[in-house]
A and B are shown apart, each in its own frame.
Chain A
Amino acid sequence: MADSPIVELQGLCAGYGEIQVLWGIDIAVRRGEITALIGSNGAGKTTLMRALSGLIPTQGGIYFADDKDVTGDRAAQILARGIVHVPEGRRLFGAMSVEDNLLMGAYSRKVSRGELNRDLDRVYGTFPKLCDRRHQAAATLSGGEQQMCAIGRGLMSAPRLLMIDELSLGLSPLLVEQLVAALRALNAEGMSILLVEQDVITALDLCHSAFIMDMGRIVRHGEGAQLLADPIIRDAYLGVLET
């Protein structure tokens, strides 16, 4: 059990109505690790995240979570397994306060108010800036604070696997560093993380292993450091740095 993947896909296909985006995805996300999902725009990374969280139906293949077949489960059922999706673009409830956003993260958990407050304090401990702005409308936060709020909202769902879509999009390098440090700390406490990231260096540096996607398929898989040294990867994704 300890060695079994937290999430495993076998030949998963998914898309939007008539349009198929994912063509037979095989991945295994290892427990307690940080896994990165890399690929160019339109490779299908976000669609894969949406299929994993049950936002869109699968069109084929099998989806295992903790060795159980959860293919076709609804978003709420997948969330109840501790598989939590922090969506691209943060998707905060803009008119609601930061704290109400965080509380929405815990919506489906049947826990006491005391436990909720302890979890809130933990999120505020991870992201002290959110505490200062807890009563402010989420829409008025800066981009970095919004990403903190979105991750904090995800943490309030008590994740065992935290899936973050586009961690660094639109954020300053300094903020990205802070977020990366926060993710490392969460991972050190045992949380598994699946990360979709545009910034290949950040992603490969942070992750234990990575999957590379192209045209709705997984085209490569390996350890982060190993991929970072791979000449083909360097050529395709890090070309600029070779000069």
Chain B
Amino acid sequence: MAKLIEGATGSWEVVIGMEVHAQVSSNAKLFSGASATYGAEPNSQVSFVDAAMPGMLPVINEECVRQAVRTGLALGAQINLYSVFDRKNYFYADLPQGYQISQFKHPIVGHGRIMIEVEGETREVGITRLHLEQDAGKSLHDQHPSLTYVDLNRSGVALMEIVSEPDMRSSEEAGAYLKKLRTILRYIGSCDGNMEEGSMRADVNVSVRRPGEPLGTRCEIKNVNSVRFLQQAIEYEARRQIDIIEDGGKIDQETRLFDAAKGETRSMRSKEEAHDYRYFPDPDLMPLKLAQAWVDKVAKTLPELPDAKRDRFVADLGLTPYNASVLVAEKESAAYFEAVLAELTAVSGKPAREVATQVANWVVGDLFGALNKAGKSIENSPVSAHNFAQLQKLMVDGQISGRIAKEVFEHMLATGDEPAKIVAEKGLVQVSDSGAIAAIIDEVLAENADKVAEYRSGKDKLFGFFVGQVMKKTQGKANPQLVNEALKAKLSA
């Protein structure tokens, strides 16, 4: 099951755990009313509390607590009705209070789990805990040759730190974990999952060992901000550790940075240089006590989660597990698919199960393929769910063939127009008029009298040739079923 890495002296297993910092989607910061939106002018979203002015006090933002609880519930985790905010003390210019308010001994969320899928295999990764904490500000070292500037917009913004068990055994699993976590957070809307803007950052712990042996010494790689970098960092770090051990050295527990440009990790500080954070309960805040009834109420606000949705797509709609997995990976994709399906069943009167596979194949194959090629996301798809459903309906109703549908779809991608309009303008309506089809068939048979004779003398395979000729004459618009039936009748007459 575990993927092993071959060293010079045998196989190695890599052991990975992760701490993900996810910014809570909220209007205001964790302990102040200042805005938490991204990208504003430096120091324009800073309250007296965020700047740690003398005498200022934190007040918990209930929305952040609610989102943390929702996230905990979505991770199938224990919600701790009693949790405590602690101060993590250290000095830095972008940490105005001189401490970060975090949760150390009593986090708001305890044990949970995430199911990941790698190469068709499903695995469980344990969640150790989730806690709420403040983000720090930002030191800007590149604004002046000798001075550092500080932007406090981010100071005090709410983060969820989500800590996994060391349950992952390959960079692929780590990547799948991060992607899955992001999917869940985006489904429930507790974090926008935007890794480029820093809404999600991962610290990853990596160690190596001989299979079956106790855990090796780990190194922590800080602030990795994409799935690709995460996997690169793990690959590099595992190889580095294996090389050291195989050369007779030993691993020093340390904090390392990933240099994306060079694709390598390098030492940031050793265990000896680690801060003594002097955690203690923040005396400005009372312990956070939640009522079970409130948690139950919050639980009711959770949408259908990706795993449940995938299972339903397979069981109720008859989708293939592959299509179902692809569709649920982004909540926007699933929403698009479901919107198309809902409209199609409504306008066509067909049961969802009957048309779901066709729609799924089209969304996963044609739409995603086209979007990928155009570098677009589903949110700015040129083909709206409504238009997509209309296109499907034209097919289901037999007004256009699958082949014509692909052609119409190309036009839809280019213009964003409604399929009916394209079909009308281009005269692509399927010919279902049996008289018209019969006339064309007569034409074809008349033009190919020799082939008709051959067919009648037993060369059955020529049937396809006649169909092709009829389609050619109708530019593919003839209803294939009617063509088949009429041809058969005429040829056997």
**A and B form one complex:** no
Chain B residues in the interface with A (C-beta under 8 A): none
Chain A residues in the interface with B (C-beta under 8 A): none
